[in-house]
Every structure is written in structure tokens, then in C-alpha cells.
Amino acid sequence: MRLGLYFIACWSVIGVLAARWGWAAVAIVVALAIYTIVPLVVFLRYAGWPRYPGKWFRLLVVRVFWYVQLALPLTAAAGLLGILIGALARAPLDEGRIGAGIMAAFLAVMFVAGYVGSRRLVRNEMEAWLPNLPAEFEGTRIAQISDLHVGPHTPRRFLARVRVALVDGRPDLIAITGDLVDDRWEDVATFARELGPLRAPLGVFVIAGNHDVYSDWEAVERELATREVGTLLLNDAVVLRRGDAAIALLGTGDPAGRQVGSPRVSPDVARALAARPAGIPTVALAHNPALWPQLAAAGVDLTLSGHTHWGQFAIPRLRWSLASVFLEHAMGAYREGDSLLYITPGTGVWGLPFRIGAASEVSFITLRRGSAGIEPTPRR
């Protein structure tokens, strides 16, 4: 009911402002409203798309939906504010059109800038200092990618660039920290085709993200197993050895498992910790950084997370992002005692191809022995 009233209010403001240009303009507004509301009704009715949403459906329906839904309340609010201001000058509709027009133009510029930003891929080099790191693991390089959200809308050339960046970085270990696919298990095939050939001396490891859970986790897990895309760590741990030295690599489930009633993919940190030998340094892969406090309390040295995308809009120098509004741990590096957390802005996008201040990233974390801390690798 409230959602319906919201749409009626927003589209009514825009319809009234468009009436100056005649009934044809009003008809266009009505058609656009129907075109973007009907897909939402269908999605809510079936709790997802009843059929596999192909590339053109995503581009011409889903993407249009997102652009319009982001622009709708801001444009309508600007128009309404213009009407209220214009009422003082006895020209409410004229001022309303100016307000809505300025907001629409501003959003168009932002959307274009965000689209250009979403095509940028950066390589971020960092050093993580762990007090108990064995000398044999000094200089070990971990490559992290996350939140690819692969679907038919994902440019294959972009995935190829990600693959090349990983290979060129020559990591010892590759960590893929969740949200491999966007919303359908069928897209695991594309993910595997583009990134399945990746190899690293210590292995390639994968964990579940919330979108993998929403995509029907059992099907996603089955596809990952049949296509041999790295080693899945699901509330489990492996021991990595160099000579007589060892460190543990731990992977959690995702809190989305609780939402969909799937205990197998729900996080079980105690179980994962029990799978490693006691007393050895531990690196954890946890898609959702909300799990970090529990991991830190258990003595995990370094946790690599994603999930937040940094809101896909960030001001890194101020350590602020859209995600910071909602989350305590939203972006970049954190430290609690000797426990470290790094939250990548992610490698793909969700919703819209939009990134400003939070470029798509392939992260390289070099392990060092020393007082706990994480910082950019010094330029040499």
C-alpha cells in the first residue's frame, strides 16, 4: 500500500510538470511509469524472475528500472520544491520544471560519470604485518577479488582484464571472497569459463557471498564442484605449508544463509576454527565484514572481506562511503588488537554500472612479519 502511494505521489508530480507540453508528454510519463513498475510487481510476485533474465532483458528492463528508480524520488522532490518556491512568485509550475530539470541533468551527469568509473580496474598493493607470521611465509602474496556479480550483462572483456591482472600479479594464493554471480546459478558457467583456469602455487580458494546464496546455493555449489573452480571453503579451513612452517586459511559461510533458512551455508565460525590446528597464524575469508568481530575475538590474524562495494560511491580521503551510513566496518583497513580486516570495494558492480571513488579492484596483500598493521605497499 505504502509503495503504491509512493509511486503515485512521485509520478503525479512529474506528470503535472510534463502537462505543459501536452497529452503526448503525459502519455510518455505514464508509459515510463508502467514500464518500470510492472517488472517490480513481477519480481515481488515471484520472489525473483520466473525465467532466466537474459542480456537484453537486463539491459532494457532491469537497468532502465534501476536508473529510473534512483532518479524518480530525487527528480520528483526537486520538482515539488520548485513548485513550493515558485508559488511565492506565482509561477509554481515553471519553477517546478526548472527544479526537476536541474536535478535530472545533474543525475544524468552522475550516471555517465559512474558508468565510466565502473569500467576502471585498479590494482591495489598492500602489506599486512602479522606478529606471528613464520619466516617461511614472509613475502607471501595473496590476490583478492570479490563481488564480481557475474551475469549475462557482465562484459566478457572486463572479466578478461580481471584474469590478466591476477596472472600478471603473480600471487602465491588467490582468494575469491563471494558474490561470484549476481542472482542466478546458471551464471556460474560464465564465471568458470572466464576465471576457472586461474592457478596459484598455494591454491585458489572460493567462499560464498549473499548473492550466491540468493541464487540457490545448492545449485551454485553443485556447479562450482562440477566445473572445478578453485577450492570451496564453507565453514572450513585448510593448512598451508612451506617446509616445517604452516598457516591456516579459513573460509566462512554467509549470514544470508540464515535469511533463506539454509543452515549449511550460514556462518559457523566455531566450526571453521575447529578445522585448523591451534596456535598457527590464520587468514580468514569472510564475505560479510560483520563476521570480523567474532573472528578477531578468536585470534584470527587477517580477515579479507567484500560485500559493501564501498557503496559504489566513496570519498576515500575522508574514509566515507555510502556504505558507511549503514555499516560500522564499511571500507578499507581496520585493526582490533593484533587482528586486521581489509574490505575491498569489490571487482564487479551490483544494480547499475556505477562507481565513483570506489574503483573496481584487484587487491594484492603481501604478508610481512612485524607489529600488526595494514598499509599500502611503499613505492620503490
- Section 78-93 average pLDDT: 88
What cell numbers appear for 370 in the block? Answer: 612485524
Residue 89 has pLDDT above 80, yes or no: no
On whether the CB atoms of residues 86 and 95 are closer than 8 A, the answer is yes
Q: Where are the domains of the chain?
A: 2-117, 121-376
Confidence of residue 68 (pLDDT cuts 50, 70, 90): very high
CA angle 184, 33, 39 (to 5 degrees): 20
| pLDDT exceeds 80 at position 251 | yes
Q: Is the pLDDT of residue 352 over 70?
A: yes
What was the pLDDT predicted at 262?
Answer: 87
Q: Which residue carries 570480523 as its cell?
A: 292
Provide mean pLDDT across the span 281-306.
97
CATH number of 121-376: 3.60.21.10
Which run of H or of E encompasses 28? helix 23-46
pLDDT at site 91: 79
| Digit-coded pLDDT (tens) for 191-245 | 999 998 999 999 999 999 999 999 999 999 999 999 988 999 999 999 999 999 9
pLDDT of 228 reads 82
**Minimal CA–CA distance to 290: which of 303, 277, 278?**
303
Instruction: Give the rounded percent of residues in the chain with a pLDDT score beyond 90.
Output: 90
Tell me the CA distances in angstroms from 281 to 135, 231, 241, 298, one per residue in order: 12, 20, 12, 11
How many Cα atoms sit within 13 Å of 137 on the Cβ side? 31
Q: Cα(first)–Cα(last) distance of the chain, in Å?
A: 60
Q: Report CA dihedral (218, 223, 224, 229) to the nearest 10 degrees.
A: -170
How confident is the model at residue 87, as a pLDDT? 85
- What is the mean pLDDT of the segment spanning 298-317? 97
Is pLDDT above 70 for 134? yes
**What does the pLDDT look like over 254-272, one tens digit per residue?**
999 999 888 899 999 999 9
Taking the C-alpha atoms of residue 379 and residue 178, their distance in angstroms, rounded to an integer, is 30
Cα–chain-centroid distance for residue 93?
A: 40
Residue 380 pLDDT class (50, 70, 90 cuts): low
User: What is the residue-averaged pLDDT of the chain?
Assistant: 95
- Report pLDDT for 47: 82
pTM greater than the 0.75 cutoff = yes
The total of other beta-carbon atoms located within 10 Å of residue 135's CB is 10
Type of residue at 243: G
Q: Is 234 helix (H, G, I), strand (E, B) or coil?
A: coil
pLDDT of residue 208: 97
